[in-house]
Amino acid sequence: MTQTVKLAWMPAQANVTRQGDNTLLENPTPLAVYPANLGYWLRRNAGRFPEKLFIAQRDAEGVWQGPTYAQALARVNRLSAGLLARGLDGSRPLAIMSENSVEMALVQLAAMQVGIAVAPISYAYSTLSQSGANIRHILDLTAAPLVVMSNADIHMPKLSQWDLSGLSLFAVSNAERYDGVAPLAALEADGADTLDAEGERRYAAVTPETLAKIQFTSGSTNLPKGVEVTHGMMTSNQVGIAQMWPFLGSDEVIVDFLPWSHTFGGNFIFNMILKHGGTFHIDRGSPAPAGFETMVKNITDVQPTIYFGVPRSYTLLYARMQTDTQLREAFFRRLKFMFTAAAALDQQTFDGLQRMSAETLGAPVPFFAAWGMTETAPDATLVYWPASDARVIGLPIPGVSIKLAADASGKREIRVKGACVTRGYYHNAEATARAFDDEGYLRTSDAAAFLEPMNPAAGLIFDGRIGEDFKLTSGTWVHNARLRGSINTLGQPHLLEVVVAAPNRDELTALVFPNVAVLRARFAAASASQSDDAAFLGCDDVRGYFADVFARHNQAHPASSERFVRCLLLTTPPQLDQNETTDKGYINQGAVLRNRAALVEKLYQQPPDAEVIVLG
C-alpha cells in the first residue's frame, strides 16, 4: 500500500462584482509573468535535466522509446532549420496530419519556436471521414505551403483527391510509395543541433501575440472554424494554472490518449508537461471497445502521477477496476489527482473512484475539473480545492475574468476575457465580430450557475448549452443538458448519448445511441440468439432495460418539461460526415434531429410504431 500524496491546497476564492443583471468573477491572485515563446520551456528543461525522458511512444516491439529533453531540443532545432531553409516565413502555417506521436510533438515545437504557426488536422478526418471534406476546407483556409503527415498510406488517399501542386509533403513513414512525398528525416538532415543566427533572430522575434496554432473547433451546422491561438494564450494559461496547482512538479509522469489536434490534449495536457519538465507517454489506446485494452496496458505499465480523462474513460476504468486489482493498484499507486473535463462526470463514478482510491491507498485521491474551450487555450475556470460535487467546474484562474450574463432562458451565459482568450477566427471576420460582446468578452453559449448561490467560493457548475435549450408548445423552457445528464448517468455504460427530440412539441421524447458492445456483454443470451444489431436491440431484455432507465428518471423528474413519454433506440451510429458527431466523439444534437427527422416523427405518431418504447 502506498499513501496518497498530500497536496498543498489553494483556498477557493473569487472577487465577485454585480453589474446590473450580470455577475463578474475574477481570481484575486494576479497573473504571474509568463514567457513570450512556448519554446522557452523546452530550452529551460534541456538545460535543467538534459538526460531526462521528455516524450515516449511504444515501438514495434512494444518498448517505450523517445528523446530526452536535450535530444528533443536538438531535433527541434534541426527541424526549425529545415523549415526556414524551405522559405517558411510565418505568413502561412504548416499543416500536420498525424495521430499523437513523438514526431508530431517535435515538428510543432520546431515550427512554433521560430514564429511559424501550425494547423493540426484531426487524425479522424483521414481515418473516419469518407469524404475528407474538412481536410480540404482546412488546407484551403490556411493556404498551408507544407504538410507533415505520419503514415503516408493513411493520409495520401485523402490528399490525392486534390491538386497538390505547390504543396510540399513530408511523411514519417512510407513516403517512398508516393511521388512528391519526402521522408521527414530529409527536413532535418542539414540542420545543426543549435539554431543559427537567423534561427535565433526568429526565436527572439516571437511575442505573446505571435500566432502559434490554428486549432479547428468541431463543426456543427457549418465547417470547422480556425481559432487563432497565440504563444501568450498558451503560456499565460499554464502559468495561471500552476499558480492554483502549486503541487505540480518535474516529477510528473503521465500516459494520455487525448488528441493534440484539440485543445484539451494539445494545450492543457501537453503544455503542462512541457512547462513543468515531466515525462509524457503517448497512449494509442482509447475509451472505446477497440482501444480500451491498450489503454489498460499502458496505464498498468506507466503508473502515472496524474491522470487526465473524459467521463467515458473514467466510467470504463472504474468498471474494470472493480475486478482488475493489477490495474487498480497501478492506477492509484503514484497518483496525485484525477482530472476530468469536456463533459460532466456522473456523481456515482466520481464518488466510487475516490472510495476505491481510499481503499487502495489509505486516503482518497482528489478529483479536479475545469471549464474552457479552444478559444481560451483552454482553461478559464479550475477546481483547485477539495470538491465533493462532480458538477463543479471551479472558479477563474489568475488572468481570467468571467462574466455570467443573464439570458432569456433564465440561465447565465459564461463570457470570458483575459490573456488566454483568442483574438478571433482565422480569416473569418464575420465569426470574429459575432464572438465578442460590447465589453470585449468572448461569448461562449455555455451556461454556468453557482453551486451555492450564497457562497460563490463553493464554485461554479456547468449548466448546459444555451443554444440547445428550447420551449415546449406550452411555453415551458426545457433545459437539454440537465435531461441528457440524468439519462446518461442512469444508463452508463450501456448508452453512448441521448438526444432530446422534442423542440416545439407537447411532450418530451428521446433518440438513444446505445453502446451495443456493452449491452451484448450484459445480455449474453439475447446476444447469442441475435447476431444482427438491430434485431438484438429489439429484444425484450434490452428494451426493458432502457424503459427502466427512463422510468427511474421520470420518477425523479415528474414535471412535463423533464418527463419523457417515449424513446427509440438508434440502430446506426452517429455519422461524422453528416456532422452528427465530432471527431472527438461528441454528439451534435441539432444535426441528429435534422438527419433523422423521420425517426423523430415516428416517436410522435399515433398509434406508436412497434420500434418505439412507450414509457409509463
Q: Are 119 and 96 in contact (CB under 8 A)?
A: yes
Q: Grid coordinates representing 246?
A: 502549486
Closest CA to 459 of 22, 13, 15: 13
Is residue 54 assigned to a domain?
A: no
Same domain, 503 and 454: no
Is residue 2 assigned to a domain?
A: no
- What does DSSP say about strands 181-183 and 211-216: parallel, antiparallel, or unpaired? unpaired
Same domain, 380 and 253: yes
Interior CA angle at 309 toward 305 and 311, to 5°? 140
Is residue 406 assigned to a domain?
A: yes
HSE at residue 276, side-chain half, CA atoms within 13 A, is 24
H or E segment to which residue 26 belongs: strand 22-26
Interior CA angle at 243 toward 454 and 264, to 5°? 85
- What is the pLDDT at residue 346? 83
Is residue 217 assigned to a domain?
A: no
Q: Grid coordinates representing 371?
A: 471549464
Q: Domain end: 466, 496, 512, which one?
A: 466
Torsions phi, psi for 279 (to 5 deg): -120, 130
Q: Domain end: 466, 500, 517, which one?
A: 466
Burial of 562 (0-12, 13-18, 19+ CB in 10 A): middle
Closest CA to 2 of 361, 366, 365, 363: 361
3-class DSSP assignment, residue 284: coil
Question: What number of other Cβ atoms are within 10 A of residue 467's Cβ?
Answer: 15
CATH of residue 312: 3.40.50.12780
Same domain, 246 and 389: yes
CATH of residue 105: 3.40.50.980
Rounded Cα gap, residues 363 and 396, in angstroms: 28
Rounded Cα gap, residues 338 and 5, in angstroms: 12
Same domain, 444 and 373: yes
Torsions phi, psi for 457 (to 5 deg): -65, -15
Same domain, 253 and 347: yes
Residue 401: strand pairing partners: 26, 417
Residues 6+ apart with CB under 8 A from 106: 67, 72, 75, 76, 79
Burial of 217 (0-12, 13-18, 19+ CB in 10 A): middle
Which amino acid type is present at position 331? F
Same domain, 491 and 526: yes
Q: Domain end: 414, 435, 466, which one?
A: 466
Residue 57: strand pairing partners: 65
- How would you classify residue 142: left for phi > 0, otherwise alpha for psi between -120 and 50, otherwise beta? alpha
Same domain, 449 and 545: no
- What is the pLDDT at residue 504? 75
CA distances from 298 to 280, 349, 410, 493 (A): 12, 21, 45, 22
Rounded Cα gap, residues 140 and 144, in angstroms: 8
The beta-strand segments (E) located in 501-560 are: 508-514
pLDDT single digits (tens) 296-313: 999 999 999 999 998 889
Residue 306: strand pairing partners: 337
Is residue 56 assigned to a domain?
A: no
3-class DSSP assignment, residue 129: coil
Is residue 160 assigned to a domain?
A: yes
Same domain, 200 and 252: no
pLDDT, averaged in runs of 10, over the chain (616 residues): 65 93 97 98 98 97 98 98 95 97 98 98 86 91 97 96 94 97 93 95 98 83 85 98 97 96 96 98 90 96 97 90 97 97 84 96 95 96 95 97 91 96 97 96 94 95 81 78 87 89 85 92 94 94 96 92 93 82 73 90 91 90
Which amino acid type is present at position 39? G
Residues 6+ apart with CB under 8 A from 46: 69, 70, 72, 73
HSE at residue 151, side-chain half, CA atoms within 13 A, is 7
Question: What number of other Cβ atoms are within 10 A of residue 565's Cβ?
Answer: 21
pLDDT single digits (tens) 472-491: 877 787 878 888 889 988 99
Counted residue by residue, the chain has a size of: 616
Interior CA angle at 489 toward 478 and 543, to 5°? 90
Same domain, 194 and 299: no
3-class DSSP assignment, residue 188: helix
Rounded Cα gap, residues 565 and 604, in angstroms: 10
- What is the pLDDT at residue 218? 67
The number of distinct structural domains making up the chain is 3
H or E segment to which residue 566 belongs: strand 564-569
Alpha helices in 191-230 (DSSP H): 197-205
Same domain, 511 and 523: yes
Taking the alpha carbons at both ends of the chain, their separation in whole angstroms is: 49
- What is the pLDDT at residue 193? 95
Which amino acid type is present at position 113? Q
Rounded Cα gap, residues 73 and 247, in angstroms: 26
Q: Are 230 and 210 in contact (CB under 8 A)?
A: yes
Is residue 317 assigned to a domain?
A: yes
Same domain, 487 and 462: no
Q: What is the DSSP letter of 49?
A: -
Torsions phi, psi for 146 (to 5 deg): -145, 140
- What is the pLDDT at residue 488? 87
Same domain, 462 and 474: no
Rounded Cα gap, residues 315 and 352, in angstroms: 10
Residue 114's domain spans which residues? Answer: 66-206
Rounded Cα gap, residues 377 and 230, in angstroms: 9
Interior CA angle at 356 toward 350 and 360, to 5°? 145
Is residue 43 assigned to a domain?
A: no
